[in-house]
Chains A and B, each alone.
Chain A
Amino acid sequence: MEYKEMTYKDAVNLAMTEEMRKDENVILFGEDVGLYGGAFGVSVGMFEEFGPERVKDTPISEAVIAGCAAGAAVTGLRPIAEIMFMDFTTIAMDALVNQAAKMRYMFGGKAQVPMVLRTPGGSGTGAAAQHSQSLEAWFCHVPGLKVVVPGTPADAKGLLKAAIRDNNPVVFVEQKTLYKEKGEVPMDDEFVIPLGKGEIKREGSDVTVISYGRMLPRVLEAADDLKKEGISVEVVDPRTLVPLDKEMIIDSVKKTGKLILVNEACKTGGFLGEISAMVSESEAFDYLDAPIVRLAGLDVPVPYNPELEAAIVPSVDQIRQAIVDVVTNKR
């Protein structure tokens, strides 16, 4: 396969562009996604290629962005809707939670809602409490929605293509602070990563660390450091939270007997608790020789001051320390 080095942002752009070239029912709309190219520049060049019929600026109206996507999807289009910051998906909740997620089931399987709602989450940009949240767990709680959080450029491309081709509403959570990160991305336009398929990012035997999104590069850095010290860390990235690759997680825990979970979102009510409970209920429970450890964001709104902002999410040092503690039975 041919690979090209590109940013996470460009990989998202490429996935949309390839799918729009293949299927004229795929369209993109959202605030400033047209000429401006999106608040984070993700759709740069797409307006020029596809024109205003297929790359549409909307008014500042999140409720109708999501609802219009649902309505278009149920009648035959495959819309991609962008919500500029994940925080503003809260304004789009009725359309997503009560409408898009439920139509198929409520109508006895007669409808399908093939839409993607793309939105960037996460802190680290100095934008404070209303522009920095990681709300993925909210969507995971709603049957009917699929939830994807890619952590690398290649995953961003392959997963977004799968999301666009999926016949269900998919919330595709991009990571602001990863947008400029580079990686090798397959150029094959049939490179599609099935939703629900995780990936072992590093093979290891002493401990399993599960992470996704912005925290993934930090976990990998910690794992690579510790390898030099003789600690073998298995890093598992579920990539999609719903559906979740339970088998991959259970198999890894059975192999290592130790489990650490890392994400940026607030700990309370977060998705790590779900993974932890799933493992505890599974056959992997008997293989655990240490309590499961969660490293998550503090349960506080995101503060503005850069030092405070950095302090609320797990750092590479904290991740490294947690791994050492678990492996040496200090926890």
Chain B
Amino acid sequence: MAEMNKETLIEMYKRMNHARFFEEKVSWFFARGMIHGTTHLSVGQEASAVAACMALNDDDLITSTHRGHSQVIGKGIDLNKMMAELLGKITGYCKGKGGSMHIADLSVGNLGANGVVGGGHSLACGAALTQQYQDTGKIVLCFFGDGASNEGSFHEALNLASVWKLPVIFYCENNLYGMSVPQSASMNIKDVAVRADSYGIPGHTIDGNNAIEVFNKIKEVAAYVREGNGPVLVESKTYRWLGHSKSDAQAYRTKEEVESWKEKDPINYLYNYMVTNDMAEKEELDELKKTCKQDIEDAVAFANVSDNPPLSSVTEDVYA
């Protein structure tokens, strides 16, 4: 498991920047109609997703969501294959068949983004059952949103995991809205974490824009879960800076609210933390940021020279 040291924080900073630049690029492609379909960007939520993944062991598992770019980059991913997937290329993670909402890399324990809100809750239980049954020592981190916690699958999964003592961290990225609906209109509580009480499991609420807090809390609960104590619910409060998806006029929130959250930029926070605590020089971090930006350009170049999947592939991979 990664320790909270300079090396880890530098890697975290790098992945957060990768996520930010990746999504800025994706947004640029969409604005020009160069990517098909829709996408859900997590700009502003990078600490919440990346730091949580980095507190896991490399071989632990995650289930990701429709807003999953930062999550899967946090788990560790080949940016080239990810960009190629968004551009629908054969070299992409899903051979161009999945797109943004289905990025999966089972080889690093990423069980896939999910187009179905709440779709990951029960899959995480199953993945955790395998770990428990085979005594692998691995755990599962299940990403979901505040809105997803209102799906019936949330209740069924937390209940099952609690009685079977499954090794799952249910990790709610609460960005205060489910599409256009504010949390206050979709649930009668302020903190999703209090729902843990009804399953008799621990619940924690943390500042999801503070990478250090996220890392430390997930590290702590991962140890608890790994010891066989059953699941934990962690709620990470954060905010998405951009619209819900490609088309969103955002009439349901104010510009002031968005601006106030931009002041809590998680990437700047980590930058300042490292500089203030003498863990890195400004120059080093600035240089790293530039490299990250270039990595995304390289990923685009890789995707651009990749082929589209052949038409014959359309009937492949339906069955094993």
Interface residues of A, Cβ cutoff 8 Å to B:
31-32, 34-36, 39, 57-64, 87-88, 91, 125-131, 298-301, 303-309, 311-312
> Judging by beta carbons under 8 Å apart, are B151 and A91 in contact?
yes
> Judging by beta carbons under 8 Å apart, are B37 and A301 in contact?
no
> Judging by beta carbons under 8 Å apart, are A311 and B98 in contact?
no
**Shortest CB–CB separation between residue B292 and chain A, in angstroms?**
26
Task: For A60, give its contact among B102, B117, B314 (CB under 8 Å).
Answer: B117
B311 on the A face (CB < 8 A): yes
Task: For B88, give its contact among A35, A60, A62, A305 (CB under 8 Å).
Answer: A305
Check A32/B98 contact, CB under 8 A, given A307-B308, A308-B313, A312-B314. Answer: no
The 6 A-B residue pairs with the shortest CB-CB distance, nearest first, are A126-B37, A130-B115, A126-B36, A304-B99, A59-B150, A305-B88
Considering only CB atoms, which chain B residue lies closest to A38 in the complex? B180
Contacts of A36 in B (CB 8 A): 179-180, 251-252
> Judging by beta carbons under 8 Å apart, are A60 and B115 in contact?
no
Check A305/B151 contact, CB under 8 A, given A32-B180, A60-B118, A300-B318. Answer: no
Task: For A305, give its contact among B97, B153, B251, B252 (CB under 8 Å).
Answer: B97
> Judging by beta carbons under 8 Å apart, are B116 and A130 in contact?
yes
Interface residues of B, Cβ cutoff 8 Å to A:
35-38, 85, 88-89, 94, 96-99, 101-102, 114-119, 147-148, 150-153, 178-181, 185-187, 251-252, 308-309, 311, 313-315, 318
> Judging by beta carbons under 8 Å apart, are A60 and B150 in contact?
yes
Summarize A's interface: helix, strand, loop or mixed.
loop
Check A127/B38 contact, CB under 8 A, given A60-B117, A304-B98. Answer: yes
Contacts of A125 in B (CB 8 A): 37-38
Q: Please list 6 pairs of residues, one from A and one from B, whose beta carbons are closer than 8 Å in the complex, sorted by A's number.
A: A35-B251, A35-B252, A59-B178, A91-B152, A301-B318, A308-B311
> Judging by beta carbons under 8 Å apart, are A308 and B309 in contact?
yes
Contacts of A127 in B (CB 8 A): 37-38, 101, 115
> Judging by beta carbons under 8 Å apart, are B98 and A129 in contact?
yes
> Judging by beta carbons under 8 Å apart, are B185 and A128 in contact?
no
Considering only CB atoms, which chain A residue lies closest to B147 in the complex? A60
**Shortest CB–CB separation between residue B34 and chain A, in angstroms?**
11
Contacts of B99 in A (CB 8 A): 126, 128, 304
Considering only CB atoms, which chain A residue lies closest to B85 in the complex? A304
Task: For A31, give its contact among B101, B118, B179, B311 (CB under 8 Å).
Answer: B179
Contacts of A62 in B (CB 8 A): 151
